[in-house]
Structure 1
C-alpha cells in the first residue's frame, strides 16, 4: 500500500522561498524604528504565504522561518537571531506570523471564487491579528521581562504602532492585488499542464 507524500516538490521550493522573503522583508526597511519597533514588511509576506500556499503550508513556512531565526540565523528584523529573541518585546509579532498565514490561507480556501475581495479580507484580517497579538505581547513584555521606557503605558504601545499601521494598510492592499493575480495565474497554468499531460 502506497501513501501519498505529504509534501510535493513545489512545496519544498515554496517554503524556503517564503522564509527568504520573510528575511528580506524583516530587514529591507528595519533601519526605521519607532519606540523599539522596527518597520518591516514581514506581515505582508506572512499574509501572502497563507494566501498563496494555503493555510497549512503557509503556516509551515512561518514556523520554519521562526525556527531558523531562533537557532541563530540573522533573519529577524535588524539582522537579529538566536534564542535571545524569545525575551524580545517584539517576539509576539513573530509568533503572530504563523497564525496570520494560517488564517489568511483558510479565508482563501473557504472562498468559492477567490476574488480580490477575498484577498483583501484575508490581508486585513491578518493585519488585525498581528497588531492585536504583537502589540499586546509587547506591552506585556515591557511591563514584565524587559526594561520599559520611562512613563510607558498601554496607550503608548499602541501609539508606536500608528506609523507602521498606516504603511501596512497601504501595503496590504497592494499585496492583495498581487496575490489575486498570482493565485489565478498559477491555477490557470496548472490546469493547462494537467490537460496537456
Structure 2
C-alpha cells in the first residue's frame, strides 16, 4: 500500500512545477542564454533533479502536474506556451518525456545516493528524455506538421546534437547538485534526531 502524500511532499512537488515553468522560459529573462537559435532551457535539468530529490513516484507526479497545468492553458511551456493545442507541437514529446525521465532517475537514485550512481541516473534519464522526445518530434514533423520531403530520421537526430551537448553538461551538474542537496538534508535530519534524543 502506497503512503499518502504529505503536505511537505505536495509543497516540494509544487516547487518543481514552478521551477519547470521558470526553466522553460529562462531565455525570456536571460536572453544571452541562447546558442545560435537554440535556447538553453533548464526543463531537463529540473526534471532530472526532481527524480533525484523527490524520488520516482513524487518526481513523476510533479512532472505530470506540470504537463497538465500547461495543457490547461497556463503559459508554463517554452516560449510561454500552453493549451491543449500544444499536444500537436513537435516538441510536446519532450514535455511528456519529463514524467518518465523523473521516474527513471528516481528509481535509480532510490537504490543509492552516491555521486557515481546519481550521475548514472541523470544520464539514463537524459537518454529517456531524448529518445522519447526526438521520436515524437520526428513523427510529428513527418506526419502532421508537413516537414519537407528531404526530412529524415537521421536529420531529426542531427538537429538534437547541440542541445544534447548542453543537456549532458547540465545532467552532470544536476547530479552534483542532487548529491549536495541530499547530503545537506541528511545532515540536518541527523542533527534534528540528535536534538530530540537530548
| Length-normalised TM-score, structure 2 | 0.90
Report matched runs for 1:32-51 at 5 Å: 32=34, 39-51=40-52
Other-structure match for 2:150: 151
**CA displacement, residues 39-81 of structure 1 (integer Å, 9 cap, x when unaligned):** 4211110010010111101001000000000000000001000
1:171 deviation in Å? 1.1
**CA displacement, residues 141-167 of structure 1 (integer Å, 9 cap, x when unaligned):** 111121214521111111110110111
Q: Which runs of 5+ in 2 are unaligned?
A: none
Report matched runs for 1:5-24 at 5 Å: 6-24=4-22
Other-structure match for 1:90: 91
3-state SS of 2:150 partner? coil
RMSD: 2.1
CA distance in 2, matches of 1:40, 1:195: 41
Q: Which runs of 5+ in 1 are unaligned?
A: none
3-state SS of 2:192 partner? helix
Other-structure match for 2:169: 170
| 8 Å CA contact retained: 1:38, 1:77 | no
CA distance in 2, matches of 1:33, 1:81: 24
1:195 deviation in Å? 3.4
| 8 Å CA contact retained: 1:38, 1:78 | no
3-state SS of 1:110 partner? coil
3-state SS of 2:146 partner? coil
CA distance in 1, matches of 2:35, 2:80: 13
| 8 Å CA contact retained: 1:43, 1:127 | yes
CA distance in 2, matches of 1:183, 1:116: 10
Question: Number of paired residues?
Answer: 192
1:38 deviation in Å? 5.2
CA distance in 2, matches of 1:193, 1:150: 63
CA distance in 2, matches of 1:12, 1:196: 27
| 8 Å CA contact retained: 1:29, 1:41 | no
CA distance in 1, matches of 2:78, 2:2: 38
Other-structure match for 1:76: 77
TM superposition outliers: structure 1 runs of 4+ over 3 Å: 29-35
Q: Which moved more, 1:75-84 or 1:20-29?
A: 20-29
CA distance in 2, matches of 1:33, 1:80: 21
| Length-normalised TM-score, structure 1 | 0.90
CA distance in 2, matches of 1:123, 1:93: 16
